Amino acid sequence: MRACFLKLHFLITLLFMTTMNSQAQTIVSCNIKTSDLLFREKVTASLSQAIDQVTQTNQKTHFSHVGLAVVEQDSVFVLHASSVGGTCKVSLNEFTHSESDSTQVFVYRLKEPYRKGIPQAIQKAYSMLGKPYNFSYVLSDSSHYCSEFIYKAFQHDSIFKMNPMTFKDPVTGKFVDTWVKHYEDLGIAIPEGLPGCNPNGMAASEKLQKLGLLR
């Protein structure tokens, strides 16, 4: 009898902990704060898949896009560099539905020691709106890709780092076909080894706290 009671108690405790963990891993839009980073998972588009394929970290995230949240009154907007609209400001709903299909979005927040520069970062992000998307992924002042946009917004506080870019499959060590065609179409060499950044790398930063899945 006692053994049955202990087993039942264990199962109830396990269920309670699972429920609590599930709740802790989700966040609603009203809890988003200005400067939160919204990481969008890869979608079916080939370039999105290619970005994720060559940028994996030990965090095992699958992000191919990132934006910066700003809260105005009761509404959440996102500043980001889009392959469709360039650097722009969109509603949260528009951001959570990618150019090709809907996908999951995870919310991350700067840890307290790194939050003092947020007002300057937001101001910088607004100043970069209206520029085209940087399809070359080579750092530029006249166009930006998504993680480059975030990097430059927080650059004054050195929140994120640049690392040598790679466009090779980590398993085969060969250039991914999607990237080969992408740069052939642009008419430029693959910028292998040049400094850059990506959503998966940013999400792995020790300066960020993962709040959970947006629902």
For residue 189, being part of any structural domain is answered with: no
Report yes or no on 9 lying in a domain.
no
pLDDT band at 2 (very low <50, low <70, confident <90, very high): very low
pLDDT confidence of residue 20:
37
What is residue 16's predicted lDDT score, i.e. its pLDDT? 37
Write down the H helix ranges in the chain: 2-24, 46-54, 92-96, 118-127, 146-153, 177-186, 199-203
**Least confident piece of the model among 24-28, 82-86, 92-96:** 24-28
181 in a domain, yes or no? no
The percent of residues above 70 in pLDDT, for the chain, comes to: 87
Asked whether residue 138 is domain-assigned, the answer is yes
> Quick one: pLDDT band at residue 43, thresholds 50, 70, 90?
confident
Whichever domain contains 155, its CATH number is: 3.90.1720.10
DSSP assignment, residue 165?
A: -
Mean per-residue pLDDT of the chain: 88
CB 122 within 8 A of CB 34: yes
Residue recorded with tokens 């264990």: 10
Whether 37 is in a domain gets the answer yes
The pLDDT of residue 3 is above 60: no
Span 186-195, average pLDDT: 98
pLDDT for res 97: 79
Q: What pLDDT, on the 0 to 100 scale, is given for residue 98?
A: 62
Domain that includes residue 94, residue range = 28-162+196-214
Q: What pLDDT is attached to residue 59?
A: 83
Chain centroid offset of residue 28 CA: 17
Provide the token pair at 178.
């999607």
Q: Is residue 127 part of a domain?
A: yes
Mean pLDDT, rounded, for 89-107 = 84
Maximum Cα–Cα distance for the chain, whole Å? 76
pLDDT band (50, 70, 90) for residue 45: confident
Could you tell me what percent of the chain has a pLDDT over 90?
76
**Is the pLDDT at 162 greater than 80, yes or no?**
yes
Residue 94: inside a domain, yes or no?
yes
pLDDT 10s digits, 100-145: 566 899 999 999 999 999 999 999 999 999 999 999 999 999 999 9
> Quick check: is 147 in a domain?
yes
Q: Among candidates 131, 199, 191, which has minimal Cα distance to 164? A: 191
Burial bucket for residue 121 (CB in 10 Å: 0-12, 13-18, 19+):
buried
Please give the structure tokens belonging to residue 7. Answer: 């087993």
C-alpha to C-alpha distance for 64 and 83, rounded to whole angstroms: 12
The total of structural domains in the chain comes to 1
d(CA 170, CA 176): 10
Query: So what's the pLDDT on residue 102?
Result: 63
Position 55 scores a pLDDT of 95
CA atoms of 177 and 115, how far apart (whole Å): 40
Q: How far is CA 126 from the centre of its chain?
A: 18
